[in-house]
Structure 1
Amino acid sequence: MSTSPLSKTPLNKAASTKSPISQLPLSDYDQHRAALMAKMPNNCIALFPAASELTRSNDTEYAFCQNKNFFYLTGFNEPDALLVLLKDEQGSAKSVLFSLPKDPLHEIWQGRRIGQIKAVDDYGVEQSFTLSEIDSLIPDYLEGKSQVFFGFSDHNFAAQVFTWLKQVSSNIRQGAKTPTNLTDSDPLVAELRLIKTTNELALMRHANHISGLAHQRAMQKCHVGKFEYQIEAEILHEFARHGARHPAYASIVAGGDNANILHYTANCDVLNNNELLLIDAGAELGGYAADITRTFPINGKFSTEQKAIYQLVLDAKNLAVNAIKPGMSFAKLNILTNAFLTQGLVDLGILEGDLTELISEKKVKDYFIHGLGHWLGLDVHDVGDYHISTDREQLRAFKEGMVMTIEPGIYIPLTDLSVAEKWRGIGIRIEDNIAVTKDGFENFTVNSPQTIEDIEELMQK
């Protein structure tokens, strides 16, 4: 089948070939803290807790995942720590880290800890204390401050903040002054995280490169009769082989009609001849996520119907990507892609009726049942306000340094009797990771095949 001119990413928009990095320099976390403190008023305090380890069963734990706001401000990857940012009445700023103490016995069994000396020397904070000193020092830090910043979404930590404030209040008769202005720090940090620095972009570019290699491997290792989890294992192998120890999220490896389950993660079924395999998988590198989806034929050759739907989704994806630039928005991109997909489904006979009415009634959402994309960064669905209107339109204008996914899809489950049988069981999504540049975009997802010709050629090797 011939491909649209939009099927190829323009060469001048290809991913950079700069030397890859696997983690941010610690100096970047200093800059993150400085940027946040510059937005905070004088005579205030901000408190950011680390995550805790979670028990999986009995005496085993889940793989540790650090609180993303805490990590953004510290790069510190131990549990149960606390970052305190202080600003005095003259505007002088100071950062204090509370963390687990050095403990030779614990370190024999569980691994080395950074400790307080290296926290100051290596992580750029002015002071560091052990966790045992929190309850005596935090009330002293709070006393006399006019404003306290902390994340309102963390209810357990919020309760701890109120306990410390109550300690300050108990000394009012002795002249203690309790902060009266409590402010949610989450939106403030989210705004900073939304605009990526040069090093953050370089790290995400590398995470995408590794993820693209994994998608290539999945295509090459895919055969009729294998199980979905065997392909998942190939993906995880390729991640780790290139330094990405963990996936950014639970990989979706969905054969056939399983692709019509948006968050399918069972990955336990056999791969059947003449069906498609949808893989949504991305590596996590240095804390930052890639999020890529590719769909391809299990036997290496698209059928006529699969080609038709696939080419429609691919062209819609490229239409959206090529429109990205500063000032664009998801709302505007949705208008473009929804109209394009509606016309395509009418041309294929899947939708019937007046095109204008079908677009107005958003009938395409019967088959394109999720959003066009989302912010990407430390989280897969990263933080940042979308400026959603009352009509649920995402109106925020794109700015240089934002990173997002673009991921149109068409899903026609086997149970959909409203369409011809030849279309049933087809589920296709194609997803790239895109950075907004000064005058356009950069597509990070360029080494994972996506044209029909490139996929079939790779799978025949």
Structure 2
Amino acid sequence: MTAHAARRAALLAQMAPGGVAVLATAPEVTRNSDCDYPYRHDSYFYYLSGFGEPESVLVLVAGGARGPARSILFCREKNSERKIWDGFRHGPDAARLACGVDAAFAIDELDAQMGKLLADAPALYYAHGGSAELDARVKLWLGDVKRQARSGVTAPAVVHNVLGLLDEMRLFKDDGEQATMRRACAISGQAHARAMRATRPGMREYAIEAELLYEFRRNGAQFPAYSPIVAAGANACVLHYHANNALVRDGELVLIDAGCELDGYAADITRTYPANGRFSAPQRQLYELVLAAQAAALDAVRPGQRYQAIHAAALAVLAQGMLDLGLLDRDKAGNADDVIANQSYLQFYMHGTGHWLGMDVHDVGAYRETAREGKPWRPLQPGMTLTVEPGLYVRPAAGVPEAFWHTGIRIEDDVLVTADGHAVLSGEAPKSVAAIEQLMQENA
């Protein structure tokens, strides 16, 4: 719990003296009838508490005239009846010790306690607008405090969105977070390798997905970090394909975008490979182009480099390759600079080259320096983690060589910015043509 306590202290240091922050975890969600979806905590709440039970709220009170800084957890009471049905509950006393907070109360006491905690507090910090239920409760709490005005009690004069402070904190991963993400990437890389070994023409996409999910859980991951994409042939040209039920045919490529979640942290890896274990010549040409684009983008990942430079590096390679392979007509499209300036590349490459990665697969943090004039792209700094994922998606179209039709390729790795450059966390997933073909031929 040392890391969580340090994060709480870092947030408290940014708050106004005597200010109060409130963070609620995610609610349980009904799937159907009396069945819930598998429970997953709120990332912000867990980042500060390490507590995974539902119906929980963390309150932080910054030090000031009203006393020293405090952290207070509200959670479910112990319940012997529910323990029989649902399993262990900490209860306030055990939760206080487990989380290292100063005090803990039953969640049923939240409303009564908040009226006291907010009295004379100069500022309130919470995720306003994020939850209608929390917004309503905050309104009630503030109303209770305002009704004490005749007694000289004041309500917070300012309400801040606490997520802005936490987003900037979460953008930089400490050593423990980095270690967890490395393990999540290792498990996910092994799952991609397993899927490649298992793939045969004539399978269904969901059978390949099952190999991924088995490897995730077998190695201790709690969930997939997001719904896996297993897309064969033309399905790979659908960026967020989700059906995963088509037949995998001989001669097609298979695109898998999948990563596990381990102890609250996500991996996000994409690999593309031939169903029969051998790239055709046209497939190899496109694949090598995307691989070269990713190599150029990875070279741009280093401290001080602006975030957008990663995308620009990949795009320069892809634009030239689109011309060289005849995807774009030189007479109409011009040179690579023209392709970029006129956005002709969007026909085949319509997404960015990456995103932040962490507790959420599309993690929090600003991509631009919003406080500076012109809002320039922010420079990379050690401790940031991101994906690097160029792609090409070739649909049938006039003027496009038919040999490339129905081909979708994306290559995605998870990357940590280090003091002297970067480290690829997802190297266990085979990526080169030679490595992929060798792996698949070993099991042919």
**TM-score, normalised to structure 1's length?**
0.92
Determine if the alignment matches structure 1 residue 32 to structure 2 residue 32.
no
Match of 2:382 in 1: 400
Distance of 1:344 and 1:127 partners within structure 2: 61
Match of 1:22 in 2: none
Match of 2:217 in 1: 240
Match of 2:354 in 1: 373
Task: Check conservation: 2:145, 2:154, Cα contact below 8 A.
Answer: yes
Match of 2:267 in 1: 290
Determine if the alignment matches structure 1 residue 213 to structure 2 residue 190.
yes
Aligned residue pairs total 435
SS at match of 1:404: strand
Shift of 1:364: 1.5
Match of 1:255 in 2: 232
Bigger shift: residues 427-436 or 321-330: 321-330
Determine if the alignment matches structure 1 residue 151 to structure 2 residue 127.
yes
Match of 2:26 in 1: 51
Match of 1:446 in 2: 427
Match of 2:309 among 327, 332, 335: 332
SS at match of 1:374: coil
Task: Check conservation: 1:320, 1:337, Cα contact below 8 A.
Answer: yes
Match of 1:122 in 2: 98
Distance of 1:75 and 1:65 partners within structure 2: 12
Task: Check conservation: 2:19, 2:62, Cα contact below 8 A.
Answer: yes
Distance of 1:315 and 1:284 partners within structure 2: 29
1:265-276 map, 5 Å = 265-276=242-253
Distance of 2:254 and 2:405 partners within structure 1: 14
Task: Check conservation: 2:128, 2:135, Cα contact below 8 A.
Answer: yes
Match of 1:202 in 2: 179
Match of 1:142 among 101, 118, 129: 118
Match of 1:73 in 2: 48
Distance of 2:250 and 2:230 partners within structure 1: 16
Distance of 2:172 and 2:369 partners within structure 1: 18
Shift of 1:394: 6.9
SS at match of 1:460: helix
Task: Check conservation: 2:329, 2:399, Cα contact below 8 A.
Answer: no
Match of 2:59 among 84, 87, 106: 84
Residue 276 of structure 1 aligns to which amino acid in structure 2?
Answer: L
Match of 1:363 in 2: 344
Bigger shift: residues 169-178 or 249-258: 169-178
Task: Check conservation: 1:330, 1:394, Cα contact below 8 A.
Answer: no
Shift of 1:146: 0.3
Match of 1:106 in 2: 82
Which string of whole-angstrom CA distances, capped at 9 and with x for unpartnered residues, describes residues 49-93 of structure 1?
A: 011100000010001111110010001001110000001324721
Shift of 1:329: 2.2
Residue 221 of structure 1 aligns to which amino acid in structure 2?
Answer: A
Task: Check conservation: 1:408, 1:430, Cα contact below 8 A.
Answer: yes
Determine if the alignment matches structure 1 residue 223 to structure 2 residue 205.
no
Go from structure 1 to structure 2 and tell me whether the alpha carbon gap of 1:387 and 1:243 turns closer, same or farther (over 3 Å shift): same
Task: Check conservation: 2:13, 2:62, Cα contact below 8 A.
Answer: no
Shift of 1:245: 2.5
SS at match of 2:39: coil
Shift of 1:388: 7.2
Taking only aligned residues, the RMSD between alpha carbons, in angstroms, comes to 1.6
Shift of 1:393: 8.7
Q: Which runs of 5+ in 2 are unaligned?
A: none
Bigger shift: residues 344-353 or 293-302: 344-353
Residue 405 of structure 1 aligns to which amino acid in structure 2?
Answer: T
Residue 314 of structure 2 aligns to which amino acid in structure 1?
Answer: T
Match of 1:346 in 2: 323
Which string of whole-angstrom CA distances, capped at 9 and with x for unpartnered residues, describes residues 352-393 of structure 1?
A: 232132221122122111111000000000000011789x99
Task: Check conservation: 1:150, 1:158, Cα contact below 8 A.
Answer: no
Which string of whole-angstrom CA distances, capped at 9 and with x for unpartnered residues, describes residues 314-347 of structure 1?
A: 1110111122111112312222211111001110
Go from structure 1 to structure 2 and tell me whether the alpha carbon gap of 1:55 and 1:49 turns closer, same or farther (over 3 Å shift): same
Task: Check conservation: 1:255, 1:275, Cα contact below 8 A.
Answer: yes
Task: Check conservation: 2:300, 2:309, Cα contact below 8 A.
Answer: no
SS at match of 2:20: strand
Which string of whole-angstrom CA distances, capped at 9 and with x for unpartnered residues, describes residues 11-36 of structure 1?
A: xxxxxxxxxxxxxxx22111111111
Determine if the alignment matches structure 1 residue 167 to structure 2 residue 144.
yes
Distance of 2:386 and 2:236 partners within structure 1: 22
Match of 2:418 in 1: 437
Match of 1:189 in 2: 166
Distance of 2:301 and 2:98 partners within structure 1: 39
Distance of 2:375 and 2:154 partners within structure 1: 45
Distance of 2:238 and 2:39 partners within structure 1: 28
**TM-score, normalised to structure 2's length?**
0.95
Distance of 1:340 and 1:92 partners within structure 2: 56
